Amino acid sequence: MKKKFLLLILISSAVLANKPNALETDIMPLGEDRHSILIKGNIVSNETDLRNRLIKEVKDVCGTRYEIESVELGNIAHNGLKKLTIQGKFKCYVNSQM
């Protein structure tokens, strides 16, 4: 019985290790080229993953001309597990604004 339990744990940890780091992202426009962003990590996410995803999402929306106005890290509880979150605000610049 112990061997079956250990095998189950090893298989589940292998699945988690190979699972892509799926992050939930919500971007809301605030008007005048400003946006709010919330990224929810999963149980294996770390701060670096979330910060990299934040930069990627901002660049997808704005291109290369943007300003990140604020960033806050936090945690949410989901099914008894703590998940890391990052939220912030950013502004996109167009040619006439620089």
> Could you tell me the domains of the chain?
21-97 (3.30.110)
| pLDDT value of residue 83 | 86
**CB neighbour class for 37 (10 Å; exposed up to 12, middle 13-18, buried from 19):** buried
Cβ neighbours, 10 Å, residue 21: 13
| pLDDT value of residue 96 | 52
| pLDDT value of residue 43 | 81
| pLDDT value of residue 5 | 57
Q: Are strands 81-92 and 66-78 parallel, antiparallel or unpaired?
A: antiparallel
Give the C-alpha separation, 81 to 43, whole Å. Answer: 7
Mean pLDDT by groups of 10 residues along the chain of 98 residues: 59 51 87 92 89 94 93 86 91 72
Short-list 37, 1, 10, 23, CA closest to 84: 23
| pLDDT value of residue 18 | 44
Confidence (pTM): 0.71
